[in-house]
């Protein structure tokens, strides 16, 4: 296996949990179906084929986190997935974990953000004392 392919596989493994969480998040708010979810995930930079997404949806349903039922959409029958009460519960505890991880992942960056001088808007006065508007200056 090439090194590039190995990195790709490792990344997929890392993202698979994020993708499942993302699906659960949307399914907790509204009914979702495969194709729309593929588009939604693509919007977030995850490129999934139906052959990858559908087994994920089926797996989540098998685990009791999602429940699906066929529903008519513009003359087509689609399988619509919604989070079950168990799915809602898992999502709630996963959110807590994500919040904690998020804090740790971006801890250093927010410290740099605070230390960096920010441009501030200060009034600029002409020599005659009249306010001539504002200008951005780094303090
Ligand atoms: Zn989303």
Q: How many angstroms is it from 15 CA to the middle of ligand 1?
A: 14
Residue 99 and residue 105: Cα distance in Å, rounded?
A: 10
Mean residue pLDDT of the chain comes to 84
Q: How many angstroms is it from 29 CA to the middle of ligand 1?
A: 11
Q: How many angstroms is it from 81 CA to the middle of ligand 1?
A: 15
Residue 98: pLDDT above 60? yes
Give residue 138's pLDDT.
46
Is the separation of the CB atoms in 81 and 67 below 8 Å?
yes
* Residue written as token pair 């441009």: 119
Q: Which residue has the higher pLDDT, 121 or 40?
A: 40
Q: Domain spanning 3-138 has what CATH number? A: 1.10.10.10
- Which residues fall inside 5 Å of ion ligand 1, going by CB? 40
Q: How many angstroms is it from 79 CA to the middle of ligand 1?
A: 19
Q: Which residue has the higher pLDDT, 41 or 128?
A: 41
Is the separation of the CB atoms in 116 and 138 below 8 Å?
no
Domain spans, the chain: 3-138
Give residue 116's pLDDT.
62
Residue 6: pLDDT above 80? no
Residue 31: pLDDT above 80? yes
């Amino acid at each position: 296996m090439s090194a590039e392919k190995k990195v790709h596989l490792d990344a997929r493994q890392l993202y698979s949990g994020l993708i499942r969480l993302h699906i659960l998040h949307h399914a907790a708010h509204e009914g979702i179906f495969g194709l729309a979810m593929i588009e939604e995930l693509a919007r977030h930079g995850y490129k999934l084929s139906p052959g990858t997404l559908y087994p994920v949806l089926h797996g989540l349903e098998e685990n009791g986190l999602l429940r699906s039922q066929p529903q008519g959409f513009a003359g087509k029958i689609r399988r619509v997935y919604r989070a079950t009460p168990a799915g809602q519960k898992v999502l709630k505890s996963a959110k807590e974990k994500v919040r904690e991880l998020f804090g740790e992942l971006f801890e250093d960056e927010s410290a740099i953000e605070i230390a960096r001088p920010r441009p501030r808007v200060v009034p600029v006065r002409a020599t005659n004392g009249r306010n001539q508007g504002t200008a951005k200056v780094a303090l």
